[in-house]
Structure 1
Amino acid sequence: MRSDEYDRLYLSPPHLGRHELNYLHKAIEDNWVAPVGPNIDGFERDICQYTGAQHCVALNSGTAAIHLGLQLLGVGPGDEVLVPSFTFVATANPVRYLGAEPVFIDSETDTWNICPGLLREALTERSRRGRLPKAIVLVHLYGMPARLPELLAIAAEFGVPVLEDAAEALGSTFQKQPLGTFGAVGIFSFNGNKIITTSGGGALVTNKSEWAQQARWLATQARDAAPHYQHSAVGYNYRLSNLLAGIGRGQMGLIEDRVKRRREIYAQYCELLKPLPAVQVGPAELPNARANRWLTTILLRPEHTNLSPEEVRQHLETHNIEARPLWKPLHLQPLFAGCATYGGSVCEDLFNRGLCLPSGSAMTDAHVRRVISALKEILPAG
């Protein structure tokens, strides 16, 4: 089959409705195209209403939100921050922005998120040295809720604050509480491939009004209160534009529909891949957890196939289907060579056996069957 016989099936493309245009047209009619405006205020209110967070600061990326969140937690030069190794590099890069060093923690096998046992080990060892980390970054990978009760209890025991990286997890919940609202600071991403998008964007949420005020100040070049431009601290150009916030407002009205469809796609993959023993769809949800299923992921079982994820990915490419390897662990990245790491074998195994499948909420049932048909061509049936 030639790769051009079907339209390209992307991993997780933007999925827009019609309401976004209403907010964009209004902004243009009112000449609110500058970085601030009513769409930003409205988008922040929408996020607060949906998540239950008391305060939200709309920013131009999830990375910017992590950067400001770590700064609010007091991270600075020479500090350490505990970070899961199995995540996108944007989780750890802001640690370096602030002159601090990441310490990487391996995953646990059920959720693929940070391992509570290794987190305790890292905190215990650093406590004995008399130098606790300044913060813990807790990631909900691919929208899967982490082991929140255990992780938060360990963090509280050692008195280390948690920044909750829910970049991939808007719409996911634990015990019906939205992810992103369990830590001292939470962050979301609205990049083009996320469950909802503003083209590019992010948000920081917190229940502390003074932190939200500080984040807004830092995100707008830290301009002091004066009629002229006066600055007493380093600031950043991190605010979301009013136009993009308008897209976000339209998207927020669709969030539950988008979560519902992605969960349906995951369930279809689970059912249709049953005849292929070489494939494990995962991970499963913990009790009382709801994953938004941002991306459906699979692991190859070496006892049933000698194929690598890259060989499967290349085969899907011949059908014009985009797939992607799981995140390469950060402790294996040249950028972070020499960083302290606790464990590593679990996330290394996941990377070596895993693949992300097309999961966009605009996918039809026929699209899912197309992916399954391509996989059946290359993987052995039971």
Structure 2
Amino acid sequence: MGDNLMSLKNIPLSVPNLKGKEIEYVTKAIETEWVSTAGPYINDFEHEIAKYVGTKNAVACQNGTSGLHLALMTCGVKGGDEVIVPTLTFIAAVNPVKYVGAEPIFMDCDDSLTMDPEKLESFCINECEFINNILINKKTGKKIKAIIVVHVFGNMADMERIKPIADRYNLWIIEDATEALGTYYTEGIYKGKQAGTIGDIGVYSFNGNKIITTGGGGMIVSNNEDCLNQCRFLSTQAKNDTLYFVHDEIGYNYRMTNIQAALGLAQLEQLENFITVKEENYYEYQRLGIDLLPFRTNIRPNYWFYSYITKDRDNLLNNLINQGIQTRPVWKLIHSLKPYENCWSYEIDKAIYYYDHILNLPCSSNLSKDDVATVSKAILSY
């Protein structure tokens, strides 16, 4: 079947679009010899990201994973604590919980693929006690300190319902918005609020497959200056005295380089155009008969990834790959992976369904209409 439908070229899943001022800015960084973890582009990139998402400030870091690690430490999560996390996510959203010695509690998703607020509330009510302003897991006796909310594939988690739950039980909210830069509410109490700016701390990623990229790199945002200052301090080796190299705490080498920031500035200038193209391609798939999973109706998503529901995931996946069309299933659920199989997972069922049925289709911001037509024809001809 695949031999008769071979596409004329390879169509990747999600690759960078580097057609702006990337070479100009990176060249300037090299010419001025500011190439490492200091330089004007880092400060400029932090400022422009904060301005774009509407927070007081931002802290550039090595990647989204390091940003989540710093966020957890800044929120005071430590060994013996527990953190509520989704099971349907990339493992980098959960591993930092282990970095700080805490344990994850896995939560199911709803039809947006993000954390189910009904099950989150049910867990807090039925499985926990709230004593002296601290949420205690009745089964383990441990303190639950925080929730990591992941905005999956550019969709927005239901923050209108999750935030009051966190407030009621005195839980920090860390928003993993690594896939959702540019997604924001268009109505409701958070109208105009960007993904990553509603909780206590938000984290973005600029990995090579994200909507904008610095090759690697990440960004931490918050309206809490104390949190940001602590993240910045820990990310620069916890240096108390920059001249005499005094370090009173264990720190980390988690800073972004000036070259990466130069690349990021050029990418950020194109972000809204990238979103426009991705939205057009999302609806072009729909027009051609490919029924993609919808985004929330009360948001402007960034349309980062397109999710297609199929009853024959693996066979369709292999068929498309044989035609030069890169697709992938959704991540294997984290609670089922070997490092986490003994952790508590709470009423996981919908995430299992989506794991079994989702294929992500090509969605790059430089994807052409002909590419969309080729992918659509291959799926409909299967």
- Code of the residue aligned with 2:153 in structure 1: it is Y
The answer on 1:243 being equivalent to 2:245 is: no
Match of 2:152 in 1: 141
Query: CA offsets, 1:238-282, max 9 Å, x none?
Result: 1000001000000000010011111111111122125xxxxx410
Q: Is the contact made by 2:20 and 2:267 (CA closer than 8 Å) also made in structure 1?
A: no
Query: CA offsets, 1:310-356, max 9 Å, x none?
Result: 11111011110100001221111112011111111100110001100
In 2, Cα distance between equivalents of 1:322 and 1:28: 35
User: Which moved further from structure 2: 241-250 or 131-140?
Assistant: 131-140
Match of 1:331 in 2: 335
**What displacement does 1:160 show?**
0.7
**What displacement does 1:5 show?**
5.8
1:149-164 alignment runs, 5 A limit: 149-164=160-175
Q: Is the contact made by 2:7 and 2:374 (CA closer than 8 Å) also made in structure 1?
A: no
The answer on 1:59 being equivalent to 2:61 is: yes
In 1, Cα distance between equivalents of 2:289 and 2:106: 33
- Code of the residue aligned with 1:170 in structure 2: it is L
Structure 1 unaligned segments of length 5 or more: list them: 275-279, 303-307
The answer on 1:183 being equivalent to 2:199 is: yes
- Code of the residue aligned with 2:331 in structure 1: it is W
Task: Give the counterpart of 2:318 among 298, 309, 314.
Answer: 314
Task: Give the counterpart of 1:103 among 89, 102, 105.
Answer: 105
Match of 2:11 in 1: 9
Q: Is the contact made by 1:3 and 1:318 (CA closer than 8 Å) also made in structure 2?
A: no
SS at match of 1:294: coil
TM-score (ref. length: structure 1): 0.92
Q: 1:208 to 1:314 in 2, by over 3 A?
A: same
Task: Give the counterpart of 2:243 among 203, 216, 227.
Answer: 227
1:280-319 alignment runs, 5 A limit: 280-286=291-297, 288-300=298-310, 302=311, 308-319=312-323
Where in structure 1 do 4 or more consecutive aligned residues deviate above 6 Å?
Answer: none
In 2, Cα distance between equivalents of 1:337 and 1:78: 18
Q: 1:312 to 1:32 in 2, by over 3 A?
A: same
In 2, Cα distance between equivalents of 1:361 and 1:35: 29
- Code of the residue aligned with 1:108 in structure 2: it is D
Query: CA offsets, 1:183-214, max 9 Å, x none?
Result: 10000000000000001110100112222111
The answer on 1:83 being equivalent to 2:85 is: yes
Structure 2 unaligned segments of length 5 or more: list them: 131-137, 186-190
**What displacement does 1:291 show?**
1.2
Q: Is the contact made by 1:126 and 1:132 (CA closer than 8 Å) also made in structure 2?
A: no
Match of 1:119 in 2: 120
Q: 1:3 to 1:76 in 2, by over 3 A?
A: farther
The answer on 1:366 being equivalent to 2:367 is: no
Q: Is the contact made by 2:20 and 2:270 (CA closer than 8 Å) also made in structure 1?
A: no
Match of 2:134 in 1: none
**What displacement does 1:116 show?**
0.7
SS at match of 1:195: coil
Match of 2:94 in 1: 92
Q: For the aligned residues, what is the CA RMSD?
A: 1.5
Q: Is the contact made by 1:87 and 1:330 (CA closer than 8 Å) also made in structure 2?
A: yes
Identity %: 35
Task: Give the counterpart of 2:352 among 340, 348, 351.
Answer: 348
TM-score (ref. length: structure 2): 0.92
- Code of the residue aligned with 2:11 in structure 1: it is L
User: Which moved further from structure 2: 332-341 or 88-97?
Assistant: 332-341
The answer on 1:217 being equivalent to 2:221 is: no
Q: Is the contact made by 1:103 and 1:339 (CA closer than 8 Å) also made in structure 2?
A: yes
User: Which moved further from structure 2: 291-300 or 239-248?
Assistant: 291-300
Task: Give the counterpart of 2:381 among 363, 377, 380.
Answer: 377
Number of equivalent positions: 365
- Code of the residue aligned with 1:333 in structure 2: it is L
User: Which moved further from structure 2: 333-342 or 361-370?
Assistant: 333-342
In 1, Cα distance between equivalents of 2:6 and 2:27: 36
